[in-house]
Amino acid sequence: MFLSDPVELLVVAVCALGLGVLAGRTWGVRRLIRAAVNDAEVAARTDPQTGLWNRQGFEDRYNDSRDGRRKSDWPVSVLFIDVDHFKVVNDTHGHPAGDLVIGGVAHLLAQGFRERDTVARMGGDEFAVLLTGATLGDATEVAERTRSDVELLRVPAGQGDWNGTVSIGVIEIERGEEMSSALERVDRALYAAKEAGRNRVEAVGGPV
């Protein structure tokens, strides 16, 4: 039986501890508990549909990087990605087709960034990427490559393949900037990309 719910994992671990104590095998059981707790923590920060980080996972990674304590982390840039006209997919082909599109885009994003980067699904058809050690110029180049890759993507959905686009906002964060401020700024950049016609990358500078 496969358990994915964090509460279920912890219950199993606690039961195992009780059995282990009775059997005198506490060392192995402690290791099991540590693994179960780690699994529960990862599950709480992971989007179950795509396997990407969720908003909480993104926030944790952002807070770890924003102060630039590690030289390799700085500078830090953020991409905010939105699937263009996603509502049309759901309205025309239904939510199962929409789920396939989200899964296809998520897989492309997961494969397209470095292991040190944080790729997260923020909700619905919105994704965010935290790029450590990347200037605004670096991040803009990465965003343009990502936009182009999505433009070539084909996802079986409805009566045919989905061939859509994304709009991307890009910012470089200020040292110590709160995530709420960073997301507000990058959302403005994303809005500018959509206003300019979609399937575009728009980068903005520091806070105003």
Q: Is the peptide bond before 75 cis (omega within 30 degrees of 0)?
A: yes
The pTM is what?
0.79
pLDDT tens by residue, 154-165 = 998 877 789 999
Domains and CATH numbers, the chain: 6-44 (no CATH), 55-204 (3.30.70.270)
Query: To the nearest 10°, the Cα dihedral for 3, 98, 105, 63?
Result: -60
Please provide the average confidence, as pLDDT, over all residues in the chain: 85
**Amino acid in position 175:** R
Q: 156 in helix, strand or coil?
A: strand
List CB contacts of 199: < 8 A, sequence separation 6 or more.
84, 147, 151, 165, 166, 167
pLDDT (tens digit per residue) in 43-77: 688 999 999 999 999 999 999 998 877 777 899 99
pLDDT of residue 167: 98
Write out pLDDT tens, residues 103-154. 999 999 999 999 999 999 999 999 999 999 999 999 999 999 999 999 999 9
